[in-house]
Chains A and B, each alone.
Chain A
Amino acid sequence: MELKRVQKVEAPHLRVWEALNDIEILKASIPGCESLERIDDDTLHAAVKIKIGPIAAKFKGVIKFSDLNPPNSYMLAFEGQGGAAGFAKGNARVDLTPEGPNATALSYETSAQVGGKIAQLGSRLIDSAAMKTATEFFENFSRALVKEPVEESGSQPDATQPGISESMASVPVQTPPPSSNRPLLIGIGVVVIAALVWYAFA
């Protein structure tokens, strides 16, 4: 699965780079992230549970960073496996380019490979699953950056009137407000977890 996207983030360049290094923001932005720890300067350990409808995939993996060029660009390799179910493997290249004082273009190019039962039986769903996870991450991430702290309106849409409603109600997604802002050199490898992450669960 190859994915090439540019996401406009409503925040200054440095702010985005810092946020991308804020382990709490990242942990909150990744759909299904259960744990995220630093092991050393360029290694992260993540546990993420990704759900595609009923199919859930739990992944524990290691992320290695390289070609660091703060605050502009970044390379990453990722590998995770477990059990009879399979594995996920991937890499990514990420670039930040400022677009004016208050906006930054975050472009990333990632390729992912998933193996095991889910790749053999649900191949139809894998690519769109990875894309959905990536887009979801960015919505959470940019929402977390734009308003601080962010109060999210109740996620339950109130009962709309019966009858043919033309409006496309916005999709309700739970987003707890970001808690801390400590700059750590984590890099946004986690984006890649979101983009490629899952494999058949153990």
Chain B
Amino acid sequence: MTTHQSNDFVGQRFPRREDQYLLRGEGLYLDDLAEPHNTLHLAFVLSPHAHARILSIDVSEALEVPGVVAVLTGEDFVSLIKPIRPNIEMPTYLYTDRLALALDVVRFVGEQVAVVLAESKYAAHDAIELVQVEYELMPAVVSLEQAISEGSPVVHEHVAGNIAFRGEFASDDFATKHAAGKYRLRERFRHGRVSGSAMEPRGCMAVPIRGEEITFYTSTQIPHIVRTEIAKHVIGCSESALRVVVPEVGGGFGVKAQLYTEELISVALCLKYRRPIKWVQDRREDLLTNTHARDHIYEMEATFDERGVLTSLELELYTNIGAYSSSPFGGTIETTGGARQIVGPYKLPNYAYRCYAVTTNTCASGVYRGVAQPACFMAMEGIMDRIARQLNIDPLEVRLRNIVLPGDMPWVNVLGVRYDTGSYQKCLELARERSGYEDFRRRFPGSRLKDGKYHGIGIGNMVELTGTGAPGWRVRGLQAVSGIDGATIRVEPTGKVSVFVSQANAGQGHFTTFAQIAADHIGVRPEAVTVYEGDTASTPFGTGTFASRSAITGGGAVIQAAEKVSNKIRRLAAHELQVEPNDIVLQDGRARVASDPSRFVDFEKLCLLAYSLGKGALPPTEVYGLEATEYYDPPVVTVANAVHIIEVAIDAIDGRVAIENYYVVHDCGKVINPMIVDGQIHGGIAQGVGEVLMEEIVYDEHGQLINASLLDYLLPTALDVPDLSTLTIDHVETPSIDSLGGFKGVGEGGIIGSVAALTSAIYDALEGIGANVNSVPLRPSHIASLIRAARQSAPDPEATRAKQELTAAH
């Protein structure tokens, strides 16, 4: 499919169209939407127990609160909403259905057991505290380690040993090859549990329209999936009568790329009471009930040769999926994700994994920016660092000796995943040269202790699977995630262009980037293009925005639709100017004759024909209208890559980590808008810093979540991220040969690289004194205890380092 690119707006630093109204405070987020006068506000009664039987619920007192219209419990919804079951077809996968409201058993702190409907939000919050629920406590299992141990309590009777899914893979003859490995090392990596914590908690509002229809506003990243899933689960809700509209979304990060019980409940109650229903989540509910992420254990054994080249890797991966699997991605998304993506940019010949999705009495854990990749690359880069240490080879050199080389591409890895194009070698070499890496090695040949601080430099060499289409999701067993995205492009009668895309942005600048793409392929200026998203009534069906897909899938659909429209414009112009369509070039809203540019016709004139306005007539071979709808399903996953190099200084006493230098070189294929790409990387880096140094959802051993506020769930501030003088971002553009437009995704690259590189840097700083850094988060208290323990056990840490230098000298 050749594309007649007549402009080059793609690739320019176009300022964002979204900024005007957002800066003025005119962006309407969910809670800002005008509420119809008779709106009922919802508030939920949350379980204070991790595992308990509900004996009784007394709502009498709550009903007396002025303004309270009704208080409903699990029984009321049995006839309204079907249990949520993510449509996953994977061998050994055991469904852990989720009811809209708990019926007889609650399985995590925060699970909803009753809902109050009131005339005002304040009254609703008054009433929930008067609902008396009597529980009978049941044994709870909370940590991953506990859940997989002998005789652990079980979350669901039918999920024996809390194993909801078991996946495995072994490359051929793995056992013998693994046994034959020359050098061997084992390591266990532990990643804590985090929360996406977008600045805007979730919320939704269902408004009855013309009796039977409902317009459902919700802060989501997947409007079309939500619409279909609501229609499938809410009894009496017909999909054609349901319109899902996405207001401004205050950050998503994957947490809002899920179907939630409150969305089903709001629509069901709107049908039942024929009144608008509004629910706005508060921060405590966000931290308690919005899907968490990570909480993984990686048990790894790697073999390698004397040059540090990996010969085999065996992985046992446990992921904590909480009490119910999230929907539509289910509990396996991080389990298969971690196991399949850990191979990264390396040529690993022999690989075997066993991966387990483990249930516990905690909130569901699933998709958040990076989805398992930050954790699995922390582990893989940890293996690379340990190979380097064991053989005394430079860690960056070890990576260079393991990566897929340009000549090998397109490369199909040991799992059959195809890497179309990539710049692994180039980025590593650029990083070595421009990040100050070699200078650091010169400055710190031996001891890393200087002025009371341990200095270290870490490497995060990673790939990011982006733009996953239908095949990619089916391999992972996901049936409800279609994989395609759609775009309708319409040239209006005055020649302006409307673009309707199935995506739903949460700040990624789609109104600007898709306008750039459409403008290039239709031949208008971006200012003449208006992009519409997040409205199932106007946009074609599609999967939505998550997992760094929009540039590829949305972009591809826009290109295909734009090509169709521009071909028609060329035909109409050719007819007007009596030339061949191929002799027409479209630019700035004009169709010019390529061989004689002085002859041209404006789009508007052609549009009059297309819409039967004015005196002209369509050529007989043409039909009315000037629009096209196209769906794009990328044939295979496109693989972006990046290298993060971070230099840190760790205070030997208070264990605090200062980022001294941060270098990134990123390759996300053809860049649509470099300004927006850099913004995505900055945001990912900050979340990575948070994930490694301070963020953790903490459950006590009884299943109580004990940091359900931002006072205790710490998010990084402007002082925690690298400042302007220490951050350098370089770009390499290796266009994808698989995806239309050559785009690759970038949404998650920043967090994946920074989690891997920052953990590697702290490991590098402390491994010399014998401290083993193999887990996150790494709070100052934990780092200080690692240093104290290492200093006590190693008689003279500097001696051990010197001894190492000696052995390397042979």
Q: Decide if A and B touch, CB cutoff 8 A.
A: yes
Binding site for B on A (CB under 8 A): 79, 81-87, 89, 113-117, 119-121, 123-124, 200, 202
Q: Is the CB of B49 within 8 A of A83?
A: no
Q: Is the CB of B132 within 8 A of A115?
A: no
Question: Interface residue tally of chain B, by bracket?
Answer: 20 to 34
Q: Is the CB of A84 within 8 A of B133?
A: yes
Nearest CB in chain B to that of A114: its residue: B704
Q: Is the CB of B109 within 8 A of A115?
A: yes
Write out the residue numbers on chain B whose beta carbons fall within 8 Å of the beta carbon of A200.
48
Q: Is the CB of B137 within 8 A of A89?
A: yes
Nearest CB in chain A to that of B129: its residue: A84
Write out the residue numbers on chain A whose beta carbons fall within 8 Å of the beta carbon of B708.
120-121
CA distance A115 to B110 in the complex (A): 11
Give the residues from 112 to 138 in chain B that come closer than 8 angstroms, CB to CB, to chain A: 128-135, 137
Q: Is the CB of A123 within 8 A of B129?
A: no
Known A83-B130, A83-B133, A120-B704; further 5 A-B contacts with Cβ < 8 A: A79-B137, A83-B131, A87-B135, A120-B707, A202-B129
Name B's interface SS. loop
Residue from A86, A120, A200 whose CB has the most chain B CB atoms within 10 Å: A120
Name A's interface SS. mixed
Q: Is the CB of B48 within 8 A of A121?
A: no
Q: Is the CB of B129 within 8 A of A120?
A: no
Q: Taking A82-B132, A84-B128, A120-B288 as contacts, is the C-beta distance between A113 and B704 under 8 angstroms? A: yes
Q: Is the CB of B707 within 8 A of A115?
A: no
CA distance A202 to B707 in the complex (A): 20
Q: Is the CB of A119 within 8 A of B129?
A: no
Please give the distance in Å from A196's CB to the nearest CB on chain B: 12
Please give the distance in Å from A117's CB to the nearest CB on chain B: 8
A-B contact list, 15 entries, CB within 8 Å: A79-B137, A81-B135, A84-B46, A84-B131, A84-B133, A86-B48, A89-B702, A113-B702, A114-B704, A115-B48, A115-B109, A119-B704, A121-B284, A121-B711, A123-B712
Proximity bits, B671-709, A CB within 8 Å = 1, else 0: 000000000000000000000000000001010111111
Write out the residue numbers on chain B whose beta carbons fall within 8 Å of the beta carbon of A87.
48-49, 135, 137
Proximity bits, B698-737, A CB within 8 Å = 1, else 0: 0010101111110110000000000000000000000000
Write out the residue numbers on chain B whose beta carbons fall within 8 Å of the beta carbon of A81.
48, 134-135
Nearest CB in chain B to that of A123: its residue: B706
Nearest CB in chain A to that of B131: its residue: A84
Whether a CB of chain A sits under 8 angstroms from the CB of B463 is no
Please give the distance in Å from A125's CB to the nearest CB on chain B: 11
Write out the residue numbers on chain A whose beta carbons fall within 8 Å of the beta carbon of B709.
120-121
Whether a CB of chain A sits under 8 angstroms from the CB of B45 is yes
Please give the distance in Å from A120's CB to the nearest CB on chain B: 4
CA distance A121 to B709 in the complex (A): 6
Q: Is the CB of B132 within 8 A of A83?
A: yes
Nearest CB in chain A to that of B45: its residue: A84
Write out the residue numbers on chain A whose beta carbons fall within 8 Å of the beta carbon of B284.
117, 120-121
CA distance A86 to B288 in the complex (A): 15
Write out the residue numbers on chain A whose beta carbons fall within 8 Å of the beta carbon of B706.
119-120, 123
Write out the residue numbers on chain A whose beta carbons fall within 8 Å of the beta carbon of B707.
120, 123
Write out the residue numbers on chain B whose beta carbons fall within 8 Å of the beta carbon of A121.
284, 708-709, 711
Write out the residue numbers on chain A whose beta carbons fall within 8 Å of the beta carbon of B48.
81, 84-87, 115-117, 119, 200
Nearest CB in chain A to that of B704: its residue: A119
The 7 closest A-B pairs by CB, nearest first: A120-B708, A123-B706, A86-B48, A116-B48, A115-B48, A119-B704, A113-B702
